[in-house]
Amino acid sequence: QQPVQSPQAVILREGEDAVINCSSSKALYSVHWYRQKHGEAPVFLMILLKGGEQKGHEKISASFNEKKQQSSLYLTASQLSYSGTYFCGTGSLYNQGGKLIFGQGTELSVKP
Amino acid sequence: NAGVTQTPKFQVLKTGQSMTLQCAQDMNHEYMSWYRQDPGMGLRLIHYSVGAGITDQGEVPNGYNVSRSTTEDFPLRLLSAAPSQTSVYFCASSYSDSQNTEAFFGQGTRLTVV
């Protein structure tokens, strides 16, 4: 079952912040975040593992709440280059070594 | 180092035709997988493989077959194409447990079934 992402789409002005959420109905082992530009392949941003710390990547960071089976991606002081579709991918606690299931995506547009 | 290479980039099929989408990686990755991407549906897992000779089904396996005879290659076969299989297909690979490590994606194959 796919994780659910919210919001489905968001429009920002340069310099504004955004939060993208990812929720699963299954106990999670890992959460991945990817960004996809239009017409291109998804590109890896970061992985958060069960029991791990909040991760950061330039002005993009993420958290993983194991109890709520949720992850959030934080984009601060957004830049035009942040535009794209963001996907979370989840690994199940009880299916390690197996499937990585992605959410439906969140389309982010950053305007000048 | 080419990474993950998919061929063809574009394909138009008639309903009922069969074809094979090719995927090759040169990073010696154990894990490979196929996803389809449709508007509003995100990336949905079709089949995946944890190593040569081992494959398993994903979320939407019906109408597709895979095999993994070598570490490098993971072809996806459409047995009898249907319009519902019109989509963009992505192949991905990763070093080991796909849940622990970064997945590298190919550039995709855009398939249209008429």
pLDDT digits (tens, 9 = 90+) for B13-58: 999 999 999 999 999 998 999 999 998 889 999 999 989 999 999 9
**Averaged confidence pLDDT in chain A:** 88
Give burial (CB, 10 Å; 0-12/13-18/19+) of B17: middle
- Whether B5 contacts chain A with CB within 8 A: no
- Residues in chain A with pLDDT values less than 50: 96
Residue B112: Cβ within 10 Å count: 13
The CA-atom distances, in angstroms, between A83 and each of A13, A36, B22, B74, B87 are 11, 9, 30, 31, 23
Question: What proportion of chain A, given as a percentage, has pLDDT over 90?
Answer: 63
* E strand residue ranges, chain B: 4-7, 10-13, 19-25, 31-38, 42-51, 54-57, 64-66, 76-78, 87-94, 104-105, 109-113
- Whether A26 contacts chain B with CB within 8 A: no
- Whether B39 contacts chain A with CB within 8 A: no
Query: Which residue carries 């789409």 as its tokens?
Result: A9
